[in-house]
Amino acid sequence: MKRRDFLKVTGTGAAVAAAGGVAPLLEACAGKARPLGRKVVVLAIDGMDPELVRRFVARGGMPTFKKFIEGNAFMPLGTSLPPQSPVAWSDFITGAGPGVHGIFDFIHRDPETMLPYLSISRSTPPSKTVKLGRLVIPLTGGKVENLRRGPCFWEVLARNDVPAVVFKCPSNFPPVKVRAKTVSGLGTPDIRGTYGTFSYYTDDPPADADEFTGGECIPIRLWEEAFTADLTGPANTFRENSPPAKLRLTVYRDPTRDVAKITWGGDEVILKKGEWSGWHRVRFKLAGPLADAVGMVRFYLKEVRPHFRLYVSPVNIDPLEPALPISTPSKYAAQVARRAGRYYTQGFPEDTKALSHDVFGEEEYLAQAEIVLRERLACLDETLADFDDGFYYFYFSSIDQNTHMMWRTMDPKHPLYRPDAPPEVKGAVEHFYRAMDGALARTLAKVDDRTTFFIISDHGFAPFYREFNVNTWLLDNGYIALADPFRRAETEFLDNIDWGRTLAYGLGLNSVYLNLRGREPRGIVEPEEAAALAAKLAAELEAYRDPETGKRVLVKVYKSRDCYRGPAAAEAPELVLGFARGYRLADDSAAVEFPKRICKVREDKWAADHCIDPPHVRGVLFCNKPVAAKAPALKDLAPTILKEFGLEPPREMTGRPILA
C-alpha cells in the first residue's frame, strides 16, 4: 500500500477479531419505544445544491420537487466550517460546531507523534495478548471508537422513548449505542479497514499502477487460460506483525468466448464481458478454527481478450454477518438486508477512485453508481414500510459522489470537459437529481398531517478548476523548512520537516496548524505569539493571487479562535482555508507533499468540490412547515427536531429551533 493510502485507512481492520465484544453492548441497548402519534421525517441528500435544484426543476425533470416547492419552504441551508461531510454531519448530529464535537477535517494528527489519522473513528487492538509460536492470542477485547464528541440528538429521543430509525447517517461509525434502529454511514470502512480499496487483476497493468490510491492493481499471467491470485482481507491480528489475510482466487478464461469463471473456496461465479455479479460472500481465515472474518464482494469482468481485466469491489462488511459493529440493534443491518437484499456497507460506496485511475470508463462508473442507487432505494422502501411513528432519517450519497466525478461533463469551462461525450455522460448529474425526485415521491407516501418533513443536504457544490498547495506556499514563504531539501520530491506526511525552523504546516483539506510550543512535540511558536502569527498568515494567504489567472485563491482565511467555542476548540487548527469558487486544496498538499508549483490545473476526474468558503456552497432545506429563521444552518436541525417532540435540547447544543 502506498503511503498516501494512509489518507483512506481507518485502522479498523485491526479490530475485526474483537468486534464480538462490542456487538452485545449495542444489542443490550435495543428495545421498543412507546408510540407517540407524531412523526419527524428527514430525507438527507448529501451534496444537493440549491442552484442545481432550481436549474433541473426548471427543465421539468423533477416534478415532485417542483410541486413540493410550490406549497412549502425551500431555501439554502448554512453548512459547517469547513464544509466537509464529516464536519457538516457532525454539526447536524450534535446541534453544535466543531468546538463541541471535535471533528475539524477529514484528517487530524496526533500532536504527540505527529502521525495523521482519519478523524471519524479509530480502533485499538487488544491490550493483552499471549504468543504461541507465531500465533497471537488476545486475552482482552479490542475497541472500535467513534471519535465524534458531544450530544447525539437521537440519544435524547431514545431516552425519552421516541422511536427512531437512522439509516446511513455519516459520522456515526461505530454507531452510537442507543435504543434505536440505526445503520452506520460515512466512516464505515471496508473489511481491510480502509474507506474502500478495490482490486484490479490484469495482464496489462497501467504505467501508473504503483501510484494507485483507493485500489490496488494485481498483475497476472495467464497459463493455459487460467491464473491464480490473492484477494486481500483484514489485518490478521492473530499472527505476528499482523500480516493481511489472503483469499486465493482462481480464474478461468473461456478459450473462445468472452466469458470467465472465478472460483474461491467452494464458490464460483461465471461472467460475460461487461457483466456485474451480485454480492458474493468471502471468508478470510485468521486463526484456524479460532476466528475468521466474513465479507462480501462484487465482480465486474471488464475485458476477456486480448487483455484480461477483472475488477473486484472493496471487500465490504457483510450486513448479514457483520465483522464489525454497523447497526443498532446488532441484527438490524441484517434485517434490512434479508428483505431488501445485500447492500454496500462502506461509507461512500461509489468507486470514484476506479474512475480516477481509468479502471472504469465513465459508462462503467455510472453503471456501478446505478447499482448503489438501486440498493439504496430498496433499503428506503423496506425501512419506510416499517415506519409509522417517531423519527425517521434516510441518507443518499448519489448526488454527492456523482457530482464530484461528473460535473466536468456538463461544464464547458472545465479543463476536462469533453464536447463529444455521450448524452448519458453529459447528463449524469441531472440524472441523479431526477432519481432523487423519485426518492422524494416514495418518502412522501409516509408524510401526513402529523408529520414534520425535511429534505436537507450538508453542502452544495462548486467546480474544481485549479489546485492550490498550501504547503508549497508555506515552504516558499519561509514558514516551513525541510530537514533535507534534496528529498523534497520524496516528502510525505511530515516525514522530512525541520521542526526547529518550521512555524506552520498544512494538514487535511482546509487546515493550517502552527508549530506550537507545548502542543507539537518540537514546537517553536510561543503561545503568546500565536495570535499575531495566525493573523499574519491569514492576511498573506488572502492576498495571494494565482500567477496564471490573477485571481484570489482564498476568499477568507478563518482564525479558529474567532469561530470555534467549546471543550474541543483547543484542538482546532489555527487557520481554516476558505477557497474561492473554482479552487480547492491539492491532493498532494493534503498528503503534505511539496511540488514546485503552488497552483495548477486540476487534472483528476474528481473535478467538483465543496471544501471551499462555506457561503459559496450552502446546502438545501425543504420543509412542509413555515421556517422562521432567516439563515438556518445544519446545527439548528437537532434542536428543531427535539422541539417537535416537546423535548429540551442539551446545553451543549448551540443551534436554535428554526420553525415558526
Who contacts 538 (Cβ-Cβ below 8 Å, separation ≥6)? 557, 558, 559, 575
Mean pLDDT of 481-497: 91
Pairing relationship of beta strands 164-169 and 181-184 according to DSSP bridges: parallel
Q: Is 247 in contact with 264 (CB distance < 8 Å)? A: yes
Average predicted confidence (pLDDT) for the chain: 92
- What is the reported pLDDT for 492? 85
Per-residue pLDDT tens for 152-204?
999 999 999 999 999 999 999 999 999 999 999 999 999 999 999 999 999 99
Q: Where are the domains of the chain?
A: 1-30+108-138+192-317, 34-103+148-187+347-461+622-644, 466-609
The pLDDT confidence band at residue 308, using thresholds 50, 70 and 90, is: very high
Per-residue pLDDT tens for 257-279?
999 999 999 999 999 999 999 99
- What is the reported pLDDT for 603? 95
Cell 468466448 -> residue: 257
Q: Is 111 in contact with 53 (CB distance < 8 Å)? A: no
Per-residue pLDDT tens for 605-654?
999 999 999 999 999 999 999 999 999 999 999 999 999 999 999 999 99
Is it the case that residue 14 has pLDDT exceeding 50?
no
CA angle, residues 347, 3, 230, in degrees to nearest 5: 70
User: Residue 649 is placed in which grid cell?
Assistant: 435540547
Who contacts 185 (Cβ-Cβ below 8 Å, separation ≥6)? 89, 168, 169, 170, 171, 172, 173, 347, 395
Q: What CATH number was assigned to the domain covering residues 34-103+148-187+347-461+622-644?
A: 3.40.720.10
Mean pLDDT of 289-309: 92
Distances (CA, A) of 512 to 509, 538, 658: 9, 10, 33
Is it the case that residue 5 has pLDDT exceeding 70?
no
Is it the case that residue 77 has pLDDT exceeding 80?
yes
Q: Is 151 in contact with 653 (CB distance < 8 Å)? A: yes
- What is the reported pLDDT for 132? 53
Who contacts 256 (Cβ-Cβ below 8 Å, separation ≥6)? none
- What is the reported pLDDT for 380? 98
Who contacts 500 (Cβ-Cβ below 8 Å, separation ≥6)? 481, 522, 524
- What is the reported pLDDT for 242? 84
Residue 624 buriedness (CB in 10 A; 0-12 / 13-18 / 19+): middle
Is it the case that residue 289 has pLDDT exceeding 90?
no
- What is the reported pLDDT for 136? 54
Distances (CA, A) of 310 to 96, 180, 483: 45, 40, 43
Task: Express as a percent the part of the chain with pLDDT over 90.
Answer: 85
Sign of the alpha-carbon dihedral angle for 423, 424, 426, 430: positive
Mean pLDDT of 85-98: 98
Task: State in Å, rounded, how far the first CA of the chain is from the last one.
Answer: 53
Q: Is 375 in contact with 343 (CB distance < 8 Å)? A: yes
- What is the reported pLDDT for 34? 55
- What is the reported pLDDT for 18? 45
Give the residue from 5, 103, 1 showing the smallest Cα distance to 493: 5
The predicted model scores a pTM of 0.93
Is it the case that residue 491 has pLDDT exceeding 70?
yes
Per-residue pLDDT tens for 505-531?
999 999 999 999 999 999 999 999 999
Mean pLDDT of 428-450: 97
Mean pLDDT of 14-24: 45
Mean pLDDT of 231-250: 90
- What is the reported pLDDT for 275? 98
Q: How far apart are CA 552 and CA 569, in angstroms?
A: 29
Greater confidence, 12 or 377? 377
Is it the case that residue 9 has pLDDT exceeding 70?
no
- What is the reported pLDDT for 139? 46
Task: Express as a percent the part of the chain with pLDDT over 70.
Answer: 91
Q: How far apart are CA 270 and CA 653, in angstroms?
A: 54
Q: How far apart are CA 298 and CA 276, in angstroms?
A: 7
- What is the reported pLDDT for 30? 44
